[in-house]
Structures are given as structure tokens and as C-alpha cells.
Amino acid sequence: MSAVPIEMADRRKLIQWLIGISVATVAWFIAYSQLSDFAEWLVGLFGLSRQTHFGEAMHFFLYDTPKVLLLLTGIVFVMGIIQTFFAPERTRALLSGKREGVGNVLAASLGIVTPFCSCSAVPLFIGFLSAGVPLGVTFSFLISAPMVNEVALVLLFGMFGWQVAALYLGMGLLIAIVAGLVIGKLKMERFLEDWVQKILAGQTAHPVDEKFSWLQRFQAGRNHVREIVGKVWPYILLGIALGAGIHGFVPEDFMASFMGRDVWWAVPAAVVLGVPMYTNAAGIIPIVEALIGKGAALGTVLAFMMAVIALSAPEMIILRKALKPTLIATFAGVVAAGIMLVGYVFNWLL
């Protein structure tokens, strides 16, 4: 007898969710369209002028902060729903048994719709290995998931246009696929840590096929926003603050001379500089925007961005739990070479 009231309650909750999402969507678009005027109003309210360094920096911060948070919240909510269709067990099932080549392409493509940062992708990476997914295929996913994710693509689209976002998508996928193929051809399974090799020699995980109602999918989207946005907002504010400082105070000639397209060593230097840092696409893209605004070459700055989110030091530390130093060094070297190639291609084309 209790089944009917519970079903009716779920139906009411689903209707409330649909109404709430409709209202929030309209409010989101209205707010996003007024961001520039809002930032101008706040700068004037504080008695600042954009003709000063501090005023210009404040305008950058007050404009980019709500812009990035609005984009991130909307994207993460939608991807939280999409992720219910791509649970880790199902993702492993899709990749298990796939041959190299096809598996690399599929793994890199799945990385786009599975919004993991470089560190949170590592446990899934280990799960793939335990499910019998080839080593090179798992690396394609490990590279693609943080680097070619929906946050990076949408923010690049919003700030630089669809051409830059599309080129970034294509080059990022190419790095993930080729790097995975190279690592797979090198047959480096012996450089996995012993405990991982024991897992590979034992039983593999069995996929679990979970069924979600739309109410549960919406709730998953909300929980994803709480988890992801709640975790990364300090990085976002820090990144935007740094970007604002660059935008307002750093002379254009300095950035153009250090990260310009005519400086041959700028791309490898940007990659080396990015590795010790750790943030995500939401935190790094405001810095990218500010650097480009100061005359830095797009390819050089994107190489820096890719190194930060795909070759971070914390990721290497976590990977050390599963991989021996030789395999980590090979992974870092192959990916760094691909990133530098992307930097030079962007500088040449744009």
C-alpha cells in the first residue's frame, strides 16, 4: 500500500525539478547576458576607474568570476546527468576487450564526457587495468579525461570562439590517442607496480548495470555540482585573481617577449613551468585569457594550460602508487612532446 504514495511523491518531486530547472535556465541566460554591465556597475559603485591598473584588474575579476562560476555550474550539472549514463562500471565494460587503435579512440572520446580531473582519473585508470583494458588504452583515457573535458571546451568556446575550441578538441584527442598507442606499442606492463600486476593476473571486475530514474539523474546532477564546484571554487577564485593581476598590472611587452610566437623556446618553457602547478580547466583558463590579452601567443599559453591539467605534479605522485618511475617518465615524456607539438601548431596556424 505504501508503493503508490512513494511513486506519487517521486512524481511531484520530478515535476518540481522540471519547473526548477526551467526557471534556473532562464535565470542563467539572463544573468550571463548582463555580466559585462554588472561588472561595469560594480567598478563604478566602488569608485574605481578602468583607466587605472587596479580598476582594470577589478573589472576583470568581477566579470570573470560570475562568468566562470555560471559556466561551470551549468556544465557540471548537465555532465552530472550525462555521467549517470557512463558509470565507471559501464565505461570499463565498453573498453574491456577492445583492441588497441579502436580502444584508444573510444577511450579518448569517453574522456570528453567523463569529467575527471587528472588526480580523480587515476583510480578509474587503475580500475580499467583491473578490468583487463590494455595499458595503452587506459593511458588514452587518463590523458583525455582531464585535458579534453567539457569545462575546458565550453570555456574556450566562450572566451575564444568555436574555432579555437574545435582545434583544441582535435589536437587534445590526437595527443591522447597517439600517446596511448605509443605507450601500448612499447609493451611496458612490466613497469606496473607489483600489486597492480597481481590484479591483472587475477580476476577482473564485473560490470554493474545500474538503472536510474530521471529524478535520480537530476539529483546526481545536483550532487555533482556540490561536489565539483564545492571543491574547485577556491582554485577558480585564485586563478581569476592571478589572471586579474596579470591583466591589470603586467606590461604587454613583457608577456609578448616571454611567451610570444617568435620565441622558439617559449613552448617547452611553458610546459616545464606548468608541470609543478595543479589546477583544473576552470581555474587555469582565466589565466590563459589574461596572458593572451597581454600579447602572449595562443599556442604557448595553451601548451602551458595542457601541462598544468594533464601533467600535474600531484597526478604523478598518485600515479607512483601504481606505476614504476620508468613508466611515469615515459608517460610524461610522450605527453609533453605532444603538448609541445600542439603549442607550435597553434602558434603557426593562428
pLDDT band at residue 269 under the 50/70/90 scheme: confident
Q: What pLDDT, in 10s, does the model give residues 79-116?
A: 678 767 765 566 666 666 566 678 888 888 877 766 55
Predicted TM-score (pTM) of this structure: 0.60
User: So what's the pLDDT on residue 261?
Assistant: 64
For 249, list phi and psi in degrees, rounded to 5: -120, -25
Q: How far is CA 91 from CA 49, 145, 211, in A?
A: 52, 12, 15
Chain Cα centroid distance, residue 101 = 23
pLDDT exceeding 90 applies to what percent of the chain?
5
For 192, list phi and psi in degrees, rounded to 5: -75, 150
Compute the distance between CA of residue 325 and CA of residue 332 in angstroms, rounded to an integer.
10
Compute the distance between CA of residue 159 and CA of residue 50 in angstroms, rounded to an integer.
20
Q: What pLDDT, in 10s, does the model give residues 202-236?
A: 544 444 445 778 888 888 888 878 876 776 677 67
Compute the distance between CA of residue 275 and CA of residue 285 in angstroms, rounded to an integer.
16
Q: What pLDDT, in 10s, does the model give residues 38-52?
A: 988 998 888 888 888
Strand (E) positions, the chain? none
Q: What pLDDT, in 10s, does the model give residues 309-319?
A: 777 666 677 67
User: So what's the pLDDT on residue 23?
Assistant: 95
DSSP state of 207: P
pLDDT band at residue 278 under the 50/70/90 scheme: low
Q: Is 135 left (phi over 0), alpha (psi -120 to 50) or beta?
A: alpha
Q: What is the mean pLDDT of the chain?
A: 77
Q: Kind and range of the H or E element at 278? A: none
